[in-house]
Amino acid sequence: MKKIYTLLMLFSAVTLFAQTHYEPGYFIDNNGNATNCLIKNKDWKSNPVNFEYKVTETGEPKTATMQQVKEFGITNVSKFIRHTVALDRATENMSRMSQHKEPDWQTETIYLRVLVEGDITLFKYEDANLIRFFTSTPLGMAEQLVYKPYMVGNAVAYNTDYKGQLYTLMKDRITDTERYKKVEYEAKSLTKLFLEYNGNNATEFKKISRPTKEQFHVRITPGVAFTSVSAYVIQNLQRDFDFDTKAVLRLGAEAEVVLPFNNNKWSLFIDPNYQSYENSGGKDYSKTQHIEWNIKYQFVEIPVGIRYHMFLNDKSKFFVDAGYLISVNVGDCTIDYHYTTQYSSISRSTDLEKSSNVVAGAGFGYGDFTVEARYSFNRSIFSLSEWGADHSSIGIIVGYKLF
């Protein structure tokens, strides 16, 4: 339970640290006044209803609502414009799917994310699992592109009126009707069409939203772990012994999945690695009492965790991570001690156990290379009624991305 609590505290710290990232942007209030500021970039999966900003780096964070601000954006990242629209929220869940083809319109005031800006602008609205696309109209309004699944008996049919809407809007420049039939109701396909339409126009347009997708990376992760082991005899605390800290080579390989939101700043990782630790030492407790310890410990660590990236530019980044680690023994893993006095001696030996703990780290990446300092919290590598031992380490890990 203590390990779970520590892990939750680490995750909370990583999340809190991640949430303090502000980027240059602007907003326009209801009176048309534009303000340059720093906006907290959450790369909202669902379209926001408010946002946090600071006027200066050292300024107090403030919250602006959709009722106060009609437009805001983060430079080169995202742009949102407030519109009052007719919105169809028909579900794709078959158990609750509509029985009729026509949209179920309801009027809502929402922020729309700009995907492509030009003579005809493409917007996206996302709310949990609901995704809808909108286009601008000559009057400056926004109109939903109609796509609706509905039930016909036991089968699912689809209202794809958006293809006709696009043809009506764009036929002055794109005359091939087959082009519209092939357009799918998803961001990539629609963006390509809107870029094609606006591309021949003198009005400047730009793609505001950075595409994000899941990415999978594999790294080799050699390094060195500065390892500490403390042994103790429960019945006589005077027999506690701390082995000298020892540098141990580690050989590892990391798999990382970059999550498709928040500008690819979050990822999950697993970093199995092999280490072999051997050490010995002794201690005199008096002129007639001496204890000698020996440990042989070969193991595979399997940390699994979450990582947050703070990009400096296209090549450089800082990152922090936290995770849960399971350690599996390899081969013979033993610890023993030999305690002698003037009149007697005691010897004990036992096998080490599988163990687990939490880890936390921070590092820097440049191109395909990373370097990280990772702390492995104290874990019990065996515990009996009479004696036991704990393990902890600070690792310096160098990573090289293979793909």
Least confident of 51-55, 102-106, 208-212, 365-369: 208-212
Rounded CA-CA distance 147/255 in Å is 38
Q: What is the pLDDT of residue 287?
A: 79
Give Dmax over CA atoms of the chain in angstroms.
105
pLDDT digits (tens, 9 = 90+) for 269-290: 999 999 999 999 888 877 777 8
Contact partners, residue 59, CB within 8 Å, separation at least 6: none
One-letter-per-residue 3-state SS of the chain: CHHHHHHHHHHHHHHHHHCCCEEEEEEEECCCCEEEEEEECCCCCCCCCEEEEECCCCCCCEEEECCCEEEEEECCCEEEEEEEEEEECCCCCHHHCCCCCCCCEEEEEEEEEEEECCCCCEEEEEECCEEEEEEECCCCCEEECCCEEEEECCEEEEECCHHHHHHHHHCCCCCCHHHHHCCCCCHHHHHHHHHHHHHCCCCCCCECCCCCCCEEEEEECCEEEEEEEEEEECCCHHHCEECCCEEEEEEEEEEEEECCCHHHCEEEEECCEEEEEEEEEEEECCCCCEEEEEEEEEEEEEEEEEEEEEECCCCEEEEEEEEEEEEEECCCCEEEEEEECCCCEEEEEEECCCEEEEEEEEEEEECCEEEEEEEEEEEEEEECCCEEEEEEEEEEEEEEECC
- CA-wise closest residue to 37 among 60, 17, 15: 60
286-305 pLDDT, tens digit each: 777 788 889 999 999 999 99
Cα separation, 223 vs 336, in Å, equals 28
| Pair 370, 396: CB distance under 8 Å | no
| CB-based contact 124:182 (threshold 8 Å) | no
Residue corresponding to tokens 């500021």: 37
- Delimit the CATH 2.40.160.20 region(s) of the chain: 215-401
Beta bridge partners of 119: none
- pLDDT higher than 60, residue 206: no
Q: Which residues neighbour 61 within 8 Å (Cβ) at sequence distance 6 or greater?
A: 40, 52, 53, 54
pLDDT at 207: 42
Confidence of residue 210 (pLDDT cuts 50, 70, 90): very low
Residue 202 has pLDDT above 60, yes or no: no
CATH topology of domain 215-401: Porin (2.40.160)
Residues 323 and 303: their CA atoms lie apart, in Å, by 6
Is the full-model pTM beyond 0.95? Answer: no
Encode pLDDT of 151-186 as tens digits: 998 899 999 999 999 999 999 999 999 999 999 999
How far is the C-alpha of 139 from the C-alpha of 170, rounded, in Å? 16
Tokens, residue 45: 């999966």
- pLDDT value of residue 260: 80
